Amino acid sequence: MRLELDIGNTFVKWRLLDLSGEVKDRGRVETEGEVTAFFSNSYFFSQVNELLVSNVSSPDLERAVCELFEARPSPVSLFKAKAERSLCGVEFVYGDVGRLGVDRCLAMVAAYNRYQDGVLVVDCGSAMTADLILAAGSHIGGYIFPGFRLLKQSLLSGTSNIVVSVDVEPCFGLGESTEECVENGVQMMVRSTLLGLIELAASYDVFDVLLTGGDGMKAKALLGGKVEYDKDLVFKGLGMVSSYSLGE
């Protein structure tokens, strides 16, 4: 069995694959929780013979998880992804590529593998990232901006006279209460940003847009048929760059 880990700042997302590459199980564990205890007590702990890791969180957490599996009597093949100047046909623009999050690299690798005429990749998490890859595989840059929750939190924490006391159904129409004005304002800001990104990508003759991340479907709902969503981009990229890819 193969275990893939996407260790982020808030959650450790994981998925379990069999030897045919079929996803058998998946889930997530809070980064601040008992991560090693979760995996050591999992039903699949002793079955894992390939461990693939993408980490943008604490090196100590990554080390603890890897050592947990390596300490078992049965052997495990371990692959830790890292940002490099070029990966699987994508060349990254960062001068110091080590400062480019490996999860962004992996998402771009998987997205470009799917759309080789160029692609705009938007990872919709607490912070949202957008990266543009041209048809030749050149990553020419991107953006980092607040996601839905950070936008709302920054508004509410930065004002003293805006009080939200009830939840409302989000949309981007005109609000008719403070709660609707706040929620819909966030939706409008994200939607406007995404539309601006799509327009910018088109100026480079890139027309495919791929969303990922926990709020990806929420972002997709704002744009309708203009974009596609793939929740597993980081995992797919991890599999592509791994020397332990299934089937090899």
* Residues designated as active site: 103
Rounded to whole angstroms, the Cα distance separating 4 from 141 reads 27
Question: Whole-angstrom Cα distance, residue 191 to residue 197?
Answer: 10
The token pair at 237 is: 């990229």
Q: In this structure, are residues 48 and 76 in contact, taking their beta carbons and an 8 Å threshold? A: yes
Strands 90-91 and 77-80: unpaired
Kindly state the greatest CA–CA separation across the chain.
62
Contact predicate 212/121, CB 8 Å: yes
Q: Measuring CA to CA, which residue among 28, 9, 202 is closest to residue 123?
A: 9
Measured between alpha carbons, how far is residue 102 from residues 19, 136, 234, 247 in Å? 25, 21, 9, 24
The dihedral region occupied by 86, where left means phi > 0, alpha psi between -120 and 50, and beta the remainder, is beta
Q: Strand 90-91 vs strand 86-87: parallel, antiparallel, or unpaired? A: antiparallel
